[in-house]
Amino acid sequence: MRVSFISTFDGELVEFLRKINTRYEGRPVLREIAEEYAEDIPIASEDIGPRTLNRGVVRVKRSEALSSDLRFKYFIDGVVETRPIHRINVGGVRVPIHMVVCGAGVFERNSDGELRPTSKMIFLPFLALPYRALKDLDKDFPELPANSELIRLKPLVDRIRGKALKNLWLDTSVSFGTEERVLEKHDLLITGRVRAKARDQARVIMRVLEVGALYMLKEDGHNGLVVFDGPISPLHIYANLASEEIRGLYMLSDTNISYDMLRDVVGAVKRVHKIPYDDAIYTIFERTPDEQVFIVYQMEEVVKPLKGDEDDTRLEDVMKATLSAFTLLRPELGEVYEERIVSNMSMVARFDIPLPNIAEKSEEWYLADFAEKVFKEVFLEGTVNLSNNRGKRLHELLKAITAERYPVPSAHGAREFTELYPIYEAERWLKACLKGLQYDALSILF
């Protein structure tokens, strides 16, 4: 299988680590757990206030879902591990240095129903450290090769695809997307903040690679329904960081780009932190035999970014052009694994459906009032209208989601309730590759 691109390290970064070891009493910290599992890094949340909402209910017969002609063909997932591997002492201030390995790829379901990795695979190991903040703390801090700094390689997929890359590194004191300073030298005193920024910036890189994987799939003209792991917003936010060819997705204004990228793509959110204050949401908690119940809202009415994480205005266009469907994907498992239900929300899944899935390219689907029009057509008295073409298409999409309820991922915690099995399998494959790449990189650096 051909891998789209991959990076490695050579003596240049080894020499850099040798210099800082000598100067700053550096030492390996290889036993520390990855930042993605660090307990001292909290995740913020924010409630959504009460408001008047457009909503509609779609009921799918589970017994009919598997016989539907519409099934998902492609699955896109990404993984990242941000591990502190070194610590230096700069003027008495201990600062961690991280090894990051990101991976993203497209997996295809073949005619036998088996999931297989495609050639649209991206793996990117790199070193991460608060470089500019360290230079502010010590003006003689050793130089790193400027031509391999990730922030200089935007848009990422265009700049590094198909090239042999070495010694990539990320300055975690600067935002990868905006180049805004996010860590100053006094922040180096707060180790948890340094570690959190390494994790956050690495996740941005992972999201960019996921968008790049979808772009490569679309670029080759592949047709088929796609599950994009996670919310649909990264397609909008990070497209300009992935490739010049899809910059128009940012404003949705270039429909030759935005429509084709969003058509046949559904975002699968397995960890739902927020639901609207709306009595209708209780509908999905009703146990109805042989029925999968979805409640559908306009995305902008029920989804807000984490405070301080993303700018609301950057999400505005794609949120207005997306429907969000909430459901209990496997409610019957709540009786089997009752001890795992730490919250009612742990059973709720959300699926983001961009309007190009139910609108024609010639329509003005990207305008703010189009979703209002859609709701009036798709739902009659709050229930899906199957005599309407848009209503039929939405119903078929939700049938395709319902068909993915089984098999169940053999995961820990609440993921068994909300994660699609092909995404679980894709993640396992990517993580297996990631571990091997991490070992190879560490064997070179140390």
Q: What is the pLDDT of residues 242-278, one digit of tens each?
A: 999 998 888 887 888 999 999 999 999 998 877 777 8
Please give the structure tokens belonging to residue 290: 């042989």
Domain range annotation of the chain: 7-445
Phi, psi dihedrals of residue 361, rounded to the nearest 5°: -65, -30
- The reported pTM is 0.91
Quickly list DSSP for 409-423: P--STTHHHH--HHH
Rg (CA), the chain: 23
For the segment 325-362, what is each residue's pLDDT rounded down to a tens digit? 999 999 988 877 777 777 788 899 999 999 999 999 99
Average confidence score pLDDT of the chain = 87
Q: Which residues in the chain come in under a pLDDT of 70?
A: 1-6, 30-31, 37-52, 162, 164, 304-316, 446
pLDDT at 342 (0 to 100): 76
* Alpha carbon 99 to its chain's center: 20
Give me 161's structure tokens: 């695809």
Q: Which of 349, 334, 352 is nearest to 420 (CA)?
A: 349
Cα 249 from Cα 240, distance rounded (Å)? 8
Q: Rounded to whole angstroms, how far apart are CA atoms 361 and 355?
A: 10
Q: What is the predicted pLDDT for the residue at 62?
A: 93
Query: Can you tell me the distance from the alpha carbon of 247 to that of 235, in angstroms, rounded to the nearest whole number?
Result: 10
**pLDDT on residue 6:** 67
Give residue for tokens 């539907």.
Answer: 68
In this prediction, residue 308 carries a pLDDT of 39
Strands 348-354 and 265-269, how do they pair?
antiparallel
Q: What one-letter code names the amino acid at 149?
A: E
